[in-house]
A and B are shown apart, each in its own frame.
Chain A
Amino acid sequence: MKTFANNFLVRAVLLGMGFGAATIAQAQPEVKIGVIYPLTGAAASSGAEMRDALELAVDIINNGAKSVPQLPFAAGGGLPNLKGAKIKLVFADHQGNPQVGATEAERLITQEKVSAVMGAYFSNVTATASMVAERYKVPFLNAESSSASLTQRGFKWFFRTTPHDDLFVRNQFEFLKDLKAKKGIDVKSIATFNENTLWGNETTKLQAKLVPENGYAMARQIVYPARSTQLTSEVQTLKAAAPTVVMQSSYLGDALLSMKTYKELGFSPDMILANDAGFSDTEFTKTLGKDADYIISREVWALDLAKNNPLIRQVNDLFMSRYKINFTGNSSRTFTGLMVLADAINRAGSTEPEAIRKALTETDIPASKLIMPWKGVKFDADGQNTLGQGILVQIMNGQNNTVWPFDVAAREVVWPMPKWDQRK
């Protein structure tokens, strides 16, 4: 009798535990987000920074962070509208290769069954990977690629939080106009010096239109093969064109090589207006030291913006305590991208791609909840965030200093750049 009762009790308890465990397991689903970034290849150091930013964002959402109370989801515990479901990142490495990016997107969607995809930094990889997502009807959120054409494809599942090159390049011309108006600085001729992937080519076309439109002479347009072993002929051509200002678009490797070649061949225009990317990477200033000073780059973010937005300082401190480096324009946008996606998934209350897509179209995040100098996040019919804004920074003593717009500038712009032999 006792044995029977014992057996029955044990079995009942076990059964109860089984049901209980199943219910607990069901109350803790994961939200899988696929992320495609250059984890190896020439941009691997940029990719590593963006990976760090993603992991920080996910950690804040899943486990909370007391030091950033104003940030959405800082209470932790996963996504509230999905019963505390935690976000799980599934990483893929595109190696800087558009074909690999597309294949990885396919793998993430069909095999890993992610609910949404984020990526990919390089505009050309974002183009192919998002095409795959569009085909499979999975939301693709792009936080860092700036080629304007990405949101001109009529896609329904592509969303981009970052402003694009059209805006950034126009910013540079507004800056030159402001320079003339407020400081009487005249620019006679401009040369464009861009790499030749999708990003560089589109920037070249845009600059070809805007330079004459704004009344400047186009000294020379140079397009060079990305990842050259040397840039001597390119810099020689630049030197011969003798422009007042050089507008340059290069990823990290070429940015470093070109600066070294400028120094070696003694080429120093009045100013180098850089288009972010390589010039914004932490490695750039670390490697070049003083030689990087005075360069003005269009940027999307700078640490000194924390002056007007304490949330920026708080989140950056968290990043710094973990990874020993500050946010850059790239990593801050990646961080923001994931927060926007998490916000949409939360509002959707589901991991179904269509629900997430609908929630994304209804996104309306105010500036106070962002660590970017934007007016907010709101997507238009093409999936482009219309409330983004750019800034211009000048590198001095290895730091980025916001110099434009003049009303949020932290520092006066120094113009022109001193010649190489006058720097010591």
Chain B
Amino acid sequence: MTFDILLQTLASGVLIGLIYALVAIGLTMIFGVMDIVNFAHGEFLMIGMYSSFWMFALFHLDPMLSLPLTALMLFAFGVLLYKLLIVRIVNAPMVSQIFTTFGLMILLRGLAQFFWKPDFRSIENSFVAGSFKLGQVQLGKPQLVAGIGAIVVTGLIYFFLTRTKLGAALEATAADKEAARLMGIDSHRMFALAWGIGAACAGVAGVLLSTFFPIFPEVGATFILIAFVVVNLGGFGSVTGAFWAGILVGVIEVMGGLLLGPEYKLAIVLVLFLGVLMWRPQGLLGKA
């Protein structure tokens, strides 16, 4: 087990962890602001991937160029979903909320398979294709760009939440819906905003992933499971928590797989996760 291999694995772990983080940030935002677990979040990722694919296949638009377009589309889609569907279950019992988002997940997957067939698609020869060596470490360009993209988006979200008035309003609604209302902050607008941003985050993660991961209707399932672990680990509602937890999970998964055996990699992540939950149930950076 040479140092090179360890360094290589660490780099790969951080890069995939950043993707996990980006997916989780959208999810944690929705939960933080309105206490709804969005089971269909993986499908936003899937739609983002397909959007990137179709723009590449039909209009020869590189994923890096179509990224802002996809982000805007997913934002609008998230807001639309809120206004048409989620607004009806905001005050419903949790079971109804779970059923709704779960049903949405199945609907979106089914529609994707119906319109785009179950075949695997992929984007080859995009602008960021290829790999390069940084010292002894071989990095895939798509993965590196995806990692950097995830950092940039997280930074933007963080900046939005902490430095802008609208962001403060969102945080206020997350902290105490009623008090925020009393201050004149319209909860429904904030919820719609949260859904829009959440969907856009997952969509951007999808675009970044589409440069190196196969695209198919069920791809959301693979990532949503890990996203849930990341959100729990980082603390429901905490964006910075989701960020660091995502990186942590990515590194543990890959390093653990290398050092203890690939068949255990998910088990290691989940054991650590159990440990954190027992010692600190609100997650690493969650509000107690």
| A and B physically associate | yes
Docked complex: B3-36 residues within 8 A CB-CB of A? 5, 8-9, 12-13, 16
A232 to B138, CA, bound (A): 12
Question: Are B216 and A253 in contact, CB atoms less than 8 angstroms apart?
Answer: yes
Tell me, rounded to whole Å, the shortest Cβ–Cβ distance linking B108 to chain A.
13
Q: Is B254 part of the contact surface with A, judged by Cβ < 8 Å?
A: yes
Give A198 to B194 CA distance when docked, in angstroms: 43
Let me know if B117 is at the binding interface, CB within 8 A: yes
- Nearest CB in chain A: distance from B186 CB, A: 38
Q: Max chain B CB contacts within 10 Å: which of A48, A232, A234, A236? A: A232
- Contact residues, B209-261 vs A (CB, 8 A): 212-214, 216-218, 221-223, 226, 253-258
Cross-chain contact B118 with A48 (CB below 8 angstroms): yes
Other 7 A-B pairs with CB < 8 A, given A44-B216, A287-B124: A45-B119, A230-B12, A233-B253, A236-B12, A239-B5, A256-B214, A287-B122
- Chain A 245-257 interface mask (CB, 8 Å, partner B; 1/0): 0000000110011
Bound-state CA distance A119–B114 (Å) is: 23
Q: How far is the CA of A43 from the CA of B112 in the complex (A)?
A: 15
Task: Establish whether residues A233 and B222, one from each chain, have CB atoms under 8 Å apart when the complex forms.
Answer: no
A48 CB → nearest B CB, Å: 6
Chain B residues 134-157 with CB under 8 Å of chain A are: 138, 140, 143
Q: Which residues of B contact A229 (CB under 8 A)?
A: 16, 213, 222-223, 226
Counting residue pairs across A and B whose Cβ atoms lie within 8 Å, the total is: 106
B131 CB contacts on chain A under 8 angstroms: 263-264, 266
* Partner pick for B1 among A44, A47, A240, CB 8 A cutoff: A240
B222 and A224: CB pair below 8 A? no
Whether A225 is near chain B, meaning CB under 8 Å from some CB there, is yes
Encoded as 1 (CB less than 8 Å from any A CB) or 0, chain B from 177 to 199 comes to: 00000000000000000000000
Q: How far is the CA of A256 from the CA of B120 in the complex (A)?
A: 9
How far apart are the CA atoms of A233 and B261 in the complex, in Å? 8
Residues B117 and A48 in contact, CB atoms below 8 Å apart: yes
* 9 shortest interchain CB distances as A-B pairs: A44-B118, A233-B257, A232-B12, A233-B258, A264-B140, A234-B262, A45-B119, A224-B262, A223-B263
Decide: B119 and A283 in contact? CB cutoff 8 A.
yes
Are A234 and B120 CB-contacts (below 8 A) given A227-B222, A240-B5, A287-B214? no
Q: 7 A-B residue contacts at CB 8 Å?
A: A48-B118, A222-B262, A223-B262, A229-B213, A229-B222, A240-B1, A253-B216
B5 touches A289 (CB 8 A): no
Tell me, yes or no, whether A137 is within 8 Å of chain B by CB. Answer: no
Specify which of B16, B119, B121, B140 lies most central, judged by the most chain A CB atoms within 10 Å of its CB. B119
Chain A residues within 8 Å of B, Cβ to Cβ? 40-42, 44-45, 47-48, 196, 222-225, 227-234, 236-237, 239-240, 252-253, 256-257, 260, 263-266, 283, 287, 289
Q: What A residues does B113 contact at CB under 8 A?
A: 40, 44
Say if the beta carbon of B98 comes within 8 Å of chain A. no
CA distance A252 to B257 in the complex (A): 22
A236 close to B223 (CB less than 8 A): no
Contact B120 A287 (CB under 8 A): yes
- A236 lies within 8 A of B258 (CB): yes
Using a CB–CB cutoff of 8 Å, the interface residues on chain B facing chain A are 1, 5, 8-9, 12-13, 16, 109-110, 113, 117-122, 124, 131, 138, 140, 143, 212-214, 216-218, 221-223, 226, 253-258, 262-263, 265-266
Residue of B5, B122, B143, B223 touching A256 (CB-CB under 8 A)? B122
Q: Nearest-CB distance from B105 to chain A (Å)?
A: 13
Contact partner of B263 among A225, A239, A257, A283, CB < 8 A?
A: A225
Cβ–Cβ < 8 Å partners of B221 in chain A: 227
Chain B CB within 10 Å, residue with most, of A41, A227, A229? A229
- State whether A45 touches B117 (Cβ < 8 A): yes
Contact A257 B13 (CB under 8 A): no
Q: Are the CB atoms of B218 and A42 closer together than 8 Å? A: yes
Report if A253-B120 is in contact (Cβ < 8 Å); known contacts: A234-B257, A264-B143. Answer: yes
Closest to B113 in A: A40
Whether A230 and B16, one on each chain, are in contact in the complex, defined by CB atoms closer than 8 angstroms, is yes
Contacts A229-B222, A232-B254, A233-B257: A42 and B9 contacting too (C-beta < 8 A)?
no
The one of B124, B223, B226, B262 that contacts A289, using a Cβ cutoff of 8 Å: B124
Shortest CB distance A243–B (Å)? 15
* Smallest Cβ-Cβ distance to B141: which chain A residue: A264
Closest partner residue, chain A, to B125 (CB atom): A289
Partner of A257, one of B110, B138, B214: B214
Whether A40 touches B5, Cβ cut-off 8 Å, given contacts A196-B263, A232-B254, A253-B216, is no
- Cα A42 to Cα B217 in complex, Å, equals 8
